[in-house]
Amino acid sequence: MKPIVKQISKEEASLLLNPYHYLTKESRGFRSGYNYGAFVNDKLLAVCIFHNPSVPELVKGCFGLERKEQEGIFELGRLVKHPDASLILSQFVAISIKQLREKTNVRAILSYADSRYHTGYIYQALNFKYYGLTTQKSDWWFAQTDGSYLKHTRGRVKGTKGEWRPRPRKYRYLMVYDKKLQSKWAEEVYPKGNNIEYQG
C-alpha cells in the first residue's frame, strides 16, 4: 500500500526518532523543522526532518554564503523508519522534498551519512551529488568517577581529566536547486560499501 506523506509535529516525529534513531539516542534529542511522516493505515512508519544547517560555517565553506545569506539552504537532519516497515526510504524522501519545495523556497539540501553506519545509498538513489568525507576532528571525553567517559559539548577542558577521541567522519551529499549556487567543494565518485537500509 502506498504511504501517505504529510507534515507532522515534533512530538509525532519523536515516536520513531527517540527509540530507533542512533543520533537521537546519542545526543538525547533532535532539531525540529519541516518534519514529514509516512503513514499506512494511520500508522507512522517513517520520519524525515529538514532544518536550517547545523553548522552555518560549513555552508559558507561550500557556497561562500554568510550566515544572513543562507535562507533556503536546508539540512536533511534526520531520517528514520520503523524496523518492521516495508517502504522504500528514497521514495519517501523524494515525496518529502517535493512537499518541502511546495511550501518554501529550497535552494539546496545538505545531508550527511555517518561512516560508522552507512555510505548514503539513499542519497545516491535520489541523485544527490557526493563531496567526500568531512574533515577529521576530535572530541574531548571527560573521565567519570565510575570509569566511564562523557563526551564534552561546551565549556573549557583545560585541567580536566579525559582523552581526545577522533570524531566519526561523515559522507557529504548535496542537492542544489538554485543554479546560481556553485559549490566550492570538489565532487567525487559515490562511495560504495554497506548497502543496508539504516536508521539515519
Q: For residue range 121-165, what is the model confidence (pLDDT) as tens digits?
A: 999 999 999 999 877 677 777 777 787 877 766 667 777 788 887
Q: Could you tell me the residue ranges of all domains in the chain?
A: 4-134+169-176, 136-168
Average per-residue pLDDT for the chain: 85
Fold of 4-134+169-176: Aminopeptidase (3.40.630)
Query: Buried b vs exposed e over 41-66: b needs ≥16 C-beta within 10 Å?
Result: eeebbbbbbbbbbeebebbbebbebe
* DSSP string computed for 143-184: EPTTS-EEE--SS--TT--EEEEEPPPEEEEEEE--TT----
pLDDT at position 116 is 75
